[in-house]
Amino acid sequence: MYARSTTVQAQPGFIDAGIAHIRNETLPALEGLDGFVGLSLLVDRESGRCIATSAWESEEAMRANVEQVRPIRDDAVRTFGGPATIDEWEIAVLHRDHQSGEGACVRATWIKFRPDQFDRAVDFYKTSVLPAVEELEGFCSASLMIDRESGRAVSSATFDSMDAMERIG
């Protein structure tokens, strides 16, 4: 699977409207596109950083829909009221224990690898990191998205609540 993330530096007063727009406008519009798998939205209300990530069944599906997605994304960015950057990722690992609900929290970690080390890093994530995080109370899901060309990666772990996430330190 592949993903495209849009990171917006939202205006604080626009965040709730942006969340509603993603839920009520963006998601329904994307659901009609071939190869679309899902959408997530991470919001840091303190910093204003909001990251919407669309998942696609293949790189070809993601690229084939780029023109249809552009106006949908542009509307969402305008609703958040801030500048945006766009990144594309290979979803190297995706594991869901259960769907997250209201009040769920995510710990995201950005990582830099040498591009020739990605296969080892993905294997380590699958065999060591994922089994350990999966045992934590309140764990919902985890993912590892990579950009082999730049050497960047982002790991995320979702928990049922802020309390569950903070218990791990």
Task: Report percent pLDDT > 70 for the chain.
Answer: 99
pLDDT tens across 22-42, in order? 999 999 999 999 999 999 999
Terminal CA-CA length for the chain:
30
Q: How far apart are CA 139 and CA 137, in angstroms?
A: 6
For the chain, give the mean pLDDT. 94
Domains of the chain as residue ranges with CATH: 1-82 (3.30.70.100), 90-169 (3.30.70.100)
pLDDT at 70 over 90: yes
pTM here is 0.91
Token look-up 């080892």 returns: 120
Supply φ then ψ for residue 28, to 5 degrees.
Answer: -60, -35
pLDDT tens across 108-120, in order? 999 998 888 989 9
* Other Cβ atoms closer than 10 A to 25: 14
Q: How confident is the model at residue 169 (pLDDT cuts 50, 70, 90)?
A: low
Contact 9, 82 (CB under 8 A): yes
Query: How much is the pLDDT for 167?
Result: 83
Q: How confident is the model at residue 166 (pLDDT cuts 50, 70, 90)?
A: confident
